[in-house]
Amino acid sequence: RHKFWESQPVGQFKDAGNPSLLEGPIEPPTPLSEVKQQPYNLPGPYEWITCDMDTKEMCSEVYSLLTNNYVEDDENMFRFNYSKDFLQWALRPPGYYRSWHIGVRVKLSKKLVAFVTGVPAKIRVKDTIVDMAEINFLCVHKKLRSKRLAPVMIKEVTRRVHLENIWQATYTAGVVLPTPISTCQYWHRSLNPKKLIDVGFSRLGSRMTMSRTIKLYKLPDSPITPGFRKMELRDVPAVTRLLRGYLKQFIVAPDFDEKDVEHWLLPKEDVVDSYLVESSETHAVTDFCSFYTLPSTVIGNQNYSILKAAYSYYNVSTKTPLLQLMNDALIEAKKKGYDVFNALNVMENEVFLKELKFGPGDGQLQYYLYNYRLNQTLRPSDLGLVLL
Ligand code: NHW
Ligand code: EN5
């Protein structure tokens, strides 16, 4: 069934629930001198490149490959359209390795035809903080699909991660592979219902008119919570404390320091938005919410070419009810012109999804660990991790 994945150090379907298998690394690290020093072989016409994401030219090439060939929904109506600024942000966090930004070109034409990336992250699994790679943006050009290029891409990124003495990874995918640590559901909150219906993202409910639908999803013009404002650089220490305290309760979560919070959560226009609640009395930061911007190309529509989507990222409530905090996030996203606000049922998100009129999507997201065994499937609410 899974010729490639059956050969990899990942939990296998046949091992599910076998208590004699211990939690933790599946294979021990090998001495660095034993890591393969040469890249894996590619079919003759292709060559490996390391992508320098500092340059506009490289960013543009990657952007074009992904914009035309990356993830689509199951009916091929929408395709993720990560912006160049987003890619630069996603791929250059603190401590990133340029060697983990891997491309494949056609030797003759120099055309970029495949891509995969890793970025380093400290991920806590239960009580253990593990140095990992977060693997993302695996993409093979549509014309080169089903030629077993993906396993070569995965083996090559694995090799380059090993060369940095890192032996575990985490990744998410829409497809089921051996074997998910958790299966999560996408939920969607309409902000611009008329456009969503026009492009086929959502459907007019039965016994609903367009004007009733628009009214149903109406939001106030500005946030309701006193002290709600955009996060600033000076807030990094307080937000780091708040977030670290919050993420402790989850079984799998990132271990963020101040440098990470500055990178991942300080607002960056059209990439990541973060808000907090500052107490008027103590000036303490009591609550936090954030979302990232990931538009999708609308594949065959006469009227619209882009769907502007916000994705719920990290949220923490200690004083403001999470419901009210997220309602304020929806209001900000609406003000900024987003068409839809998406969220996974991870962390405590279940408490606001239905109440704030999110509806379940047709997509799921599987979470995975590489070379790390967990003896239980986790509930989405056990996950404190959001990958881009
Ligand atoms: S998930 C998004 C992945 N990208 C897309 O869906 C874009 C559109 N699709 C494509 O570009 C986020 C191609 O269809 C891809 C597959 C490239 C997906 N993950 O070349 P073949 C990520 O980026 C397996 C892992 O013939 P293809 C996370 C498949 O099961 N494996 O297929 C990435 C089969 O193996 P099997 C996937 O369609 C995590 C084999 O690939 C996969 O031309 C990567 C077939 O290869 C997926 N999303 O290309 C793992 N989709 O055993 C990182 C298919 O079943 C692991 N496959 O025979 C950790 C590494 C680091 C470790 C460090 C210690
Ligand atoms: C790793 N970082 O399927 C990323 N999206 O539900 C890779 N559906 O947008 C992970 N099919 O349900 C990839 N509208 C996994 C996701 C791939 C993309 C994907 C789904 C998630 C999605 C939409 C559009 C469906 C179009 C037809 C959807 C319904 C919305 C409706 C709004 C009103 C209330 C009820 C729900």
Domain residue spans of the chain:
5-173, 183-382
Distances (CA, A) of 122 to 226, 331, 339, 385: 34, 33, 33, 11
Identity at 115, one-letter amino acid code: F
76: left (phi over 0), alpha (psi -120 to 50) or beta: left
Confidence of residue 98 (pLDDT cuts 50, 70, 90): very high
Q: Where are the alpha helices (DSSP H) in the chain?
A: 56-69, 84-91, 149-162, 193-198, 210-216, 236-247, 258-265, 322-335, 350-353
- pLDDT class for 222, splitting at 50, 70, 90? very high
CATH of 5-173, one of 3.40.50.970, 3.40.630.30, 3.20.20.70, 3.40.50.280: 3.40.630.30
Counting ligands in written order, the one closest to the CA of 134 is 1
Mean pLDDT of the chain: 98
Atom number in ligand 1 closest to CA 162 = 64
Of the candidates 113, 66, 110, which has an alpha carbon nearest to the alpha carbon of residue 86?
Answer: 66
Task: List, for residues 155-203, the tens digit of each pLDDT value.
Answer: 999 999 999 999 999 999 999 999 999 999 999 999 999 999 999 999 9
Q: Cβ(35) to ligand 2 under 6 A?
A: no
Confidence of residue 41 (pLDDT cuts 50, 70, 90): very high
The domain over range 183-382 is classified in CATH as 3.40.50.1820:
no
- Cα-to-centroid distance, 388 and ligand 1 (Å): 16
Contact 213, 204 (CB under 8 A): yes
Between CA 223 and CA 331, with CA 238 as vertex, the angle to 5 degrees is: 15
- Residues 102-147: tens digit of each pLDDT: 999 999 999 999 999 999 999 999 999 999 999 999 999 999 999 9
The per-residue pLDDT for 387 is 98
* Lining residues, ligand 1, CB within 6 Å: 2-5, 69-71, 133, 135-140, 145-151, 154, 157-158, 161, 167-169, 171-173, 175, 177, 370-371
Give the contacts of 320 (CB within 8 A, at least 6 positions apart). Answer: 225, 277, 286, 287
Bridge partners of residue 383, in order along the sequence:
252
The ipTM value here is 0.99
Q: Residue 19: pLDDT band by 50, 70, 90 thresholds? A: confident
What residues contact residue 10 under an 8 Å CB cut-off, 6+ apart?
26, 177, 178, 179, 368, 369, 370, 371
Residue 388 known to be catalytic:
yes
What CA dihedral angle connects 304, 136, 190 and 357, to 10 degrees? Answer: 170
